[in-house]
């Protein structure tokens, strides 16, 4: 048993150098991907490394080259299909470029996000992609810039930070969903968000710290204002963070003196919770109430009827974020900016047409 364990010890750079009949420094240059060696020597060293099943020591490599070959990603909620798809896009691009990815989940909590950023910086990641839990708290993100680590924001933007951001066209997306409902005759349209807040009701749009939520609410309200709909803000509700809270939000909306005839869910998790809430209350979509959800998640196509959605090309958003970051890591001089990825409305059976008498 002892002999077996001894034979399984890690293969070192020195072992590869000895077997390839080159110096340790030459082997290190080839295996670390830095410095200059001839093609013949490189092929010889890599062939030996493969034969010996050499595995690089990432910490040692980062100390030698200053590069870890790792990208850190901090997302808001990995349970949300939106972020799962985004991470897939990021990982696919990173892998093709020779990078590994470490993923951290903040749970949309600013302190957890700060801890994740500190941990990843400690791991000497080459760059970071972060979905900020709050767009009004950026001290830790400024620290990332100060230590010289390239940063790309995902899904949300903080213009004053002066870094790349990749987002959806949130204002236009919410406006498009709202316009569809208005065109179908709806005048009382609720917008339900998982944004955690002290009050379920929206007092001041500028107080919304999540840029994506703020822009979507602005888009929905602007479209209703343009259509002459008053009291639209009354139907914006926050705090649908879990099923019981969503149940409460939906119940209170429907108990209103003038209940909404349609609901817009701010993301697919909220959408699924809202759908379950309506089921629990014994309500039929769209006979009793119409519904639209953000993201073309799997569940939206298997309900009866299927749910009308705002289709977000999230995989492409993840790819774009990774490509921008890798361009920075490659030293490309590109202007800092926000890449806004277009969305589209997919009409299905969850929106009913109302006549004036239905209001």
Question: Quick one: pLDDT at residue 3?
Answer: 38
194 and 270 in contact (C-beta within 8 Å)? Answer: yes
Residue 271 neighbours by CB under 8 Å, 6+ apart: 265, 291, 293, 294, 295, 297, 299, 300, 307
Output the pLDDT for position 12: 83
The predicted pLDDT at position 61 comes to 55
Strand 151-154: give its sheet, edge to edge. 100-105, 70-75, 127-130, 151-154, 164-168, 338-341
Give the contacts of 4 (CB within 8 A, at least 6 positions apart): none
List b or e across 159-171, with b for residues whose CB sees 16 or more CB atoms inside 10 angstroms. Answer: eebebbbbbbbbb
Residue 46: Cβ-neighbour burial (10 angstroms; 0-12, 13-18, 19+): middle
Structure tokens at 303: 């309900």
124 contacts 95 by C-beta, under 8 angstroms? no
The pTM of the whole model exceeds 0.85? no
- Assess contact for 217 and 175: CB atoms under 8 A: no
Nearest to 155 by CA among 343, 341, 294, 325: 341
Beta bridge partners of 167: 340
282 is written with which tokens? 């014994």
Q: What is the pLDDT of residue 139?
A: 92
Question: Quick one: which of 5, 272, 324 has its CA closest to 164?
Answer: 324
Q: Print burial letters for 278-287: b (CB count within 10 Å at least 16), e (below 16).
A: beeeeeebbe
Half-sphere exposure (Cβ direction) of 184: Cα atoms closer than 13 Å? 24
Q: What is the pLDDT of residue 62?
A: 53
Q: Which residue ranges in the chain fall short of pLDDT 50?
A: 1-7, 63, 357
Cβ atoms within 10 Å, residue 1:
5
């Amino acid at each position: 048993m002892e002999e077996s364990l001894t034979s399984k010890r890690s293969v070192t750079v020195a072992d590869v150098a000895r077997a390839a009949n080159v110096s340790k420094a030459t082997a290190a240059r080839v295996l670390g991907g830095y410095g200059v060696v001839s093609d013949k020597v490189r092929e010889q060293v890599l062939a030996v490394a493969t034969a010996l099943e050499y595995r690089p020591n990432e910490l040692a490599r980062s100390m030698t080259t200053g590069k870890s070959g790792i990208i850190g990603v901090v997302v808001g909620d990995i349970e949300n299909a939106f972020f799962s798809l985004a991470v897939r896009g990021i990982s696919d691009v990173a892998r093709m470029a020779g990078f590994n990815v470490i993923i951290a989940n903040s749970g949309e909590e600013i302190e957890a996000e700060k801890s994740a950023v500190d941990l990843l910086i400690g791991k000497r990641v080459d760059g970071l992609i972060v979905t900020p839990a709050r767009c009004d708290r950026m001290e830790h993100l400024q620290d990332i810039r100060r230590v010289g680590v390239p940063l790309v924001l995902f899904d949300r933007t903080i213009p004053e930070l002066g870094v790349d951001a990749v987002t959806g066209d949130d204002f236009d997306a919410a406006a498009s969903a709202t316009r569809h409902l208005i065109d179908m005759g709806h005048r009382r349209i609720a917008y339900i968000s998982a944004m955690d807040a002290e009050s379920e009701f929206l007092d001041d749009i500028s107080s919304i710290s999540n840029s994506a939520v703020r822009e979507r609410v602005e888009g929905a309200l602007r479209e209703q204002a343009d259509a002459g709909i008053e009291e639209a803000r009354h139907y914006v509700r926050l705090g649908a963070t879990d099923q019981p809270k969503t149940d409460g939000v939906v119940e209170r909306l429907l108990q209103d003196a003038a209940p909404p005839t349609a609901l817009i869910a701010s993301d697919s998790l909220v959408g699924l919770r809202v759908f379950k809430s309506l089921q629990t209350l014994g309500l039929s979509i769209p006979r009793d109430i119409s519904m639209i959800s953000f993201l073309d998640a799997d569940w939206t196509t298997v309900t009866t009827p299927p749910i009308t959605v705002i289709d977000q090309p999230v995989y492409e958003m993840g790819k774009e974020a990774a490509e921008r970051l890798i361009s920075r890591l490659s030293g490309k001089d590109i202007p800092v900016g926000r890449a806004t990825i277009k969305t589209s409305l997919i009409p299905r059976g969850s929106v009913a047409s109302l006549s004036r008498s239905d209001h």
